[in-house]
Amino acid sequence: MSCGRKSYRTRFPQFPPHLAIAFLAAAALALFAQPAFSHDWYPNQCCSGGDCYAISTSEVEALPDGSWEVKETGEIFAGPNADATRKVKFSPDGQYHRCSFNHDRKATSICLFIPLPNGS
């Protein structure tokens, strides 16, 4: 004889195990994932927490003497092998990066990173 109550399984259906695992994996990734723009490799002298950012190849130009120009500001960075204080550095991720005060693209550049040359 039924007293009108639904069974435990009907009231609380079992959550499929594969969905539970997928949900837990997604939650763990969301909890521990770092933002894509985070770059822990920027040297302290270049970046104070928010000055560095990736740039496109169209924002810089390699000059015939081995130096590099930041097109937005016209600033020149000596090549990586030059004996100069303001020279490009190599980026470990193979992309171009620029550090400028307060992440302002029109501000003075602090550092410029270029990809390693092919074959390096």
Amino acid at position 66, single letter: G
pLDDT at position 109 is 93
Position 27 in a domain:
no
pLDDT at position 103 is 87
- Considering the chain, what is the average pLDDT of its residues? 78
Q: Note the pTM of the prediction, 2 decimals.
A: 0.64
Position 100 in a domain:
yes
Position 3 in a domain:
no
How far apart CA 14 and CA 68 sit, in angstroms, is: 62
Position 106 in a domain:
yes
Mean pLDDT value across residues 24-35: 47
Mean pLDDT value across residues 50-74: 94
Each residue's pLDDT tens digit, 40-51: 889 988 887 789
> Does the structure show a pLDDT above 70 at 9?
no
DSSP-derived secondary structure for 63-91 = -TTS-EEETTTTEEEB-TTSS-SSB-EEE
How far apart CA 55 and CA 114 sit, in angstroms, is: 10
Distances (CA, A) of 10 to 1, 18, 19, 39, 92: 17, 20, 19, 50, 56
Position 77 in a domain:
yes
pLDDT at position 83 is 77
> Does the structure show a pLDDT above 50 at 37?
no
Domains of the chain: total: 1
Residue 79: give the domain boundaries.
Answer: 52-115
